[in-house]
Homo-oligomer: A and B are copies of this chain.
Amino acid sequence: MENLHMCPKFEAAFELLGKRWTGLIIRSLLDGAKRFSDMQAIIPNLSARMLTERFKELEEKGIITRKVYPEMPVRIEYELTEKGKDLKKSMDQIQVWAEKWSNS
């Protein structure tokens, strides 16, 4: 089993993306940087507390960055890093699978 040693990284990736809202947050950010209030408008069922938590996790994993623009009032935007953008193919692939087999 040549892949045995890859397992933890692989599982960590799936575990992260399997968390509620994470996939949808990443999908939304694939359109471009968003402010906190933009995300709340896009995903109305997602509470501010949960969104804060998810943003923090994704930042820690290097998937998003938080940019502070020193304007008045201060503008804060969240955007995908290169690592984050690179998840698109994997997410598309899983989505195809999930759609295809959803009734079985």
Binding site for B on A (CB under 8 A): 1, 3-4, 6-7, 9-20, 22-24, 27-28, 42-43, 62, 83, 86-87, 89-91, 93-102, 104
A-B pairs with beta carbons under 8 Å apart, 28 shown = A1-B27, A1-B42, A3-B24, A4-B24, A4-B43, A6-B98, A7-B24, A9-B99, A10-B23, A10-B91, A10-B94, A11-B18, A11-B19, A11-B22, A13-B18, A13-B94, A14-B14, A14-B18, A14-B23, A14-B94, A15-B19, A16-B18, A62-B101, A86-B100, A86-B101, A87-B97, A90-B93, A94-B94
Q: How far is the CB of A57 from chain B (nearest CB, A)?
A: 13
Interface SS of A by simple majority: helix
Q: Are A90 and B94 in contact (CB under 8 A)?
A: yes
Q: Which residues of B contact A22 (CB under 8 A)?
A: 11
A-B CB proximity, top 5 nearest: A14-B18, A15-B18, A18-B18, A9-B98, A14-B17
